Amino acid sequence: MNQSLFKMEAKVDIKLYHGKISALKLKNWLQQLEVNFNVHQIEEGQKTSFARLKLEGHALTWWESHTETLRLEGEPPVIKWEDFKTLIKSQF
């Protein structure tokens, strides 16, 4: 079989992150996202938007508050995946 014709389809079930203060849970959640990004070849500019869809509860409230504060201060939104990871790690 020609390797260039091989296409992998995979569904990665990413659980919602609620914002529990647990370094291990956050690390595992971020790793699941990164596996999904790699498998589906998600572009840099879409990673943070996808991660936001997987926030719920306290984590979602924190993120929405953070982005609203940036908007009110005239700052650009967080788009870079590495910036998102740094922010969420400092919060949770």
pLDDT in tens, 44-84: 999 999 999 999 999 999 999 999 999 999 999 999 999 99
Residues in CB range of 45: below 8 A, 6 or more apart: 79
Question: Which position has the higher pLDDT, 11 or 8?
Answer: 11
Report whether pLDDT(1) > 70.
no
Residues in CB range of 42: below 8 A, 6 or more apart: 36, 50
Q: How far apart are the C-alpha atoms of 92 and 50, rounded to whole Å?
A: 19
What is the value of pTM for the model shown? Answer: 0.83
